[in-house]
Amino acid sequence: MEYAYLGLFMCFMCLYLSSERKLKKKKAEIIRLKKKMNNNGGPEMSKLISEYIGKKCKFIFSDTVIESLSQTAVCTVLECDDEWMKVQYLKKPNKADSPVITKIIRMDSIMSIEPVE
């Protein structure tokens, strides 16, 4: 009878270990897919945005990135790389003597960009 319990225990241990391996593989696959999804175009997007360096553009963000403004803002693009962009904007766009703010934002938070003439 003791051997039956031991055999049953060993069977459950084998099932547990095999499911652990499968779980580790699935976690690694999920992490890989998340990295792939977070790339959001990567270098291709930064190449497109690099055309706007030094120009004023109207940005629409996925969330409120710039506190004093809403989800839309008119900013001047200063620099950009694969993940980040350095922009400059007026703290209060309606006032001429408003201080100029420089901020670094993530590319992921940008929904659309439109050049302003």
The H or E element containing residue 114 is strand 110-115
Q: Are residues 26 and 58 in the same domain?
A: no
Task: Count other C-beta atoms under 10 Å from residue 116's C-beta.
Answer: 11
Reported as a single tens digit per residue, the pLDDT across 32-57 is 777 766 655 555 667 788 888 999 99
Mean pLDDT of the chain: 79
- Tokens (6 digits) for 63: 């969330």
Per-residue b or e along 41-54, where b marks 16 or more CB atoms closer than 10 Å to that residue's CB? eeeebbeebeebee
Domain that holds residue 23: 1-38
Q: How many domains does the chain have?
A: 2
State the pLDDT at residue 67. 63
pLDDT at 78 over 90: yes
State the pLDDT confidence band at 18, using cuts at 50, 70 and 90: confident
Length of the chain: 117
Residues 66 and 86 in one domain: yes
**pLDDT given for residue 9 in this prediction:** 82
CATH code for the domain in which residue 100 is found: 2.30.30
Same domain for 103 and 71:
yes
Judgement on whether residues 34 and 76 belong to the same structural domain of the protein = no
Q: What is the mean pLDDT of residues 7-32?
A: 80
